[in-house]
Amino acid sequence: MRIMVVGASQGLGRAFIEGLGDSGDSLIGVSRSVPTRLPERAGIEIEWIAADLASPEPAAARVAEAIAGSGLDVLIYNLGLWESRAFEPDYRFLTDNPAEIQRMVTVNVSGAILLIQALLPALLRSAAPRIILTGSTSALPGHGRPEVSFGATKFALRGIAEALREGFREHRLAVTCLQLGYLNTEDDLAVPVEHAARRGDGELIPVHDVVQLVRTLLSLSPSAYVKEVAMPAIGDARF
């Protein structure tokens, strides 16, 4: 299986690179620059592509060209910018910088659409093509957050997923949205999950849990897929 992770340099994306795949699989990381040192995993080939989705058209072309001869089975679009004061008590939409708003829309929405369009020819040659979009609980009705632009871009991912399923149903393209709550990205997979789960006193999800969830999604047969997963932290009072 060849799995691409977009936004792979840190946080959840890095956890995907370190935790997904089995012996014989290939993982392809995509980020603005290639890390100085790539992760090493026994039996798993790790490749990297430098591409900045803030310029989505050339970035999509670059990524598609890089994998043209080798194919692709899974695309995980894990990019998601948010406002500089997002999730802070003093966040105010009226003070958001217009350039920042435009960048969020470009990376979170245009980047996803153009990259998927560029990679679909390779994906559809797979026996079980899958796309996983990392969304947010901010895309769920009644999410209780005031961040306008971030919420709007995460709602957009649901629309992208719905349209892709209909447009490529005959190709059995599986598209899943992960609507994730607040994550503990300070503790990587090297930290025992029992320890990581204690950070935030139940209000933060260890990345270990998300990696395990995605491993389950990738283990499904070509006849099944999960449309959407809502995964808030156990202590998140909004849900």
Q: List, in sequence order, every beta strand (DSSP E) within 8-71.
A: 26-31, 45-50
74 CB-side CA count, 13 A: 27
Of residues 200, 220, 218, the one with CA closest to residue 19: 218
Q: What is the pLDDT, as a whole number, of residue 220?
A: 96
The CATH T-level fold of domain 2-231 is Rossmann fold (3.40.50)
Q: What is the pLDDT, as a whole number, of residue 38?
A: 84
Helix, strand, coil in percent for the chain, rounding step 5: 40, 20, 45
Token pair for 111: 């980047």
Of residues 221, 197, 155, 29, the one with CA closest to residue 20: 29
Q: What is the mean pLDDT, run by run of 10 residues, along the chain of 239 residues?
A: 95 96 96 89 94 96 94 95 90 94 96 98 96 95 91 95 96 97 95 96 96 97 95 93
Q: What is the pLDDT, as a whole number, of residue 144?
A: 87
Domain ranges of the chain: 2-231
The answer to whether 68 and 46 have CB atoms below 8 angstroms apart is no
The two beta strands, 26-31 and 183-184, are: unpaired
Measured distance CA(81)–CA(191) in Å, rounded: 26
Measured distance CA(161)–CA(54) in Å, rounded: 21
Q: What is the pLDDT, as a whole number, of residue 40?
A: 85
Q: What residues contact 12, with CB distance under 8 A and at least 6 apart? A: 78, 134, 180, 183, 185, 207, 210
